[in-house]
Amino acid sequence: MATAETLSSLEAALREVGAEIDRQFDLLLPVPEDARAPLYEAMRHAAIGGGKRLRPLLVFATGQLFAVDRTCLARVATAIECIHVYSLIHDDLPAMDDDDLRRGKPTVHKAFDEATAILAGDSLHALAFELLADEETHADPRVRVELIADLARSAGPAGMAGGQAMDLEAEGTRFDLATVTRLQALKTGALIACSVEAGAILGRLPAEGRTGLRGYAHDLGLAFQIADDLLDVEGDEAAVGKALRKDGDAGKETFVSLLGQERAREQARMLIDQAVAHLHAFGPEADLLCDIARYVLERDR
């Protein structure tokens, strides 16, 4: 169980990383004085001042295990958040989830228009790779290219976009627990795993030393999604900042519809314990990663 103390030190870390990501986006996205101004304003609307910044925090928390330079972590965390934000913009479009509210603000296609939302998403997508490819992000091109390979795979049809495509099919079909697990491993798990992996890549941890971190990320991703499904059923729309209870209305199977609330919560707790156990070898250095895992279950948004 998360104590008040770990939650408050974690909240401080989330706030600090959140402010850093806002600062990075503000620097990256100056509004140009030409006809592209609405595009940049739409990107800023979506990217700045909102969200839990869970993925950036995972990059920071993992990178800190290996004493990675914070400037470097900030740029990589921002690149991964670019992908996350672009996916939210496209996911909210009328042809997809058709959401009007995100992070307590109007979605991009509501605040601007659909065409601008499509292009703002596409622009953030490209920006992620532009950021990672830049030598200011890391001096060693091998590190940059490994980060890019992992992010591209995690975002593409074998990762996040593939999970979203499965989600489109979910409305018409009765997915079983194995299929929902696979769907969510792609849709949200891949980018969460990529955030942890990025910290390990920057820390020059050889691939054979990453098993524990990968186990942590896998279990965390799944627990995060179960918590999300629970929030969808139990949460308060104002606190969460988006429309809830849409999956049930759409007839989509979720962890909660398949397991029931009690067993789903139990499963998430078990996964969190398992995630924390994966970090055993790192000792107290990994306390922040453990706190993140516990927070994922306790959060109210």
Tokens 């990453």 belong to 210
Cβ at position 270, least distance to a second copy in Å: 26
Tokens 């999300």 belong to 228
Q: Which of 154, 142, 2, 38 is nearest to 87 (CA)?
A: 154
Strand partners for 247: none
Cβ at position 98, least distance to a second copy in Å: 10
Helices and strands in the chain: count of H runs, count of E runs: 16, 2
Cβ at position 286, least distance to a second copy in Å: 29
Cβ at position 216, least distance to a second copy in Å: 24
User: Contact positions toward a second copy, by CB under 8 A?
Assistant: 34-36, 38-40, 43, 86-87, 90, 93, 95-96, 109, 113-119, 121-123, 125-130, 132-134, 141-142, 144-146, 148-149, 151-153, 155-157, 159, 161-162, 164-166, 168-170, 173, 175, 179, 182-183
Q: Between 118 and 244, name the residue whose CB sits nearer to a second copy.
A: 118
Q: Between 17 and 29, name the residue whose CB sits nearer to a second copy.
A: 29
Q: Is the dihedral of CA 179, 182, 186, 187 positive or negative?
A: positive
Cβ at position 36, least distance to a second copy in Å: 5
Q: Between 133 and 233, name the residue whose CB sits nearer to a second copy.
A: 133
**Cα distances (angstroms) measured from residue 189 to each of 101, 114, 168:** 23, 27, 17
Q: Between 98 and 298, name the residue whose CB sits nearer to a second copy.
A: 98
Q: Is the dihedral of CA 35, 77, 139, 148 positive or negative?
A: negative
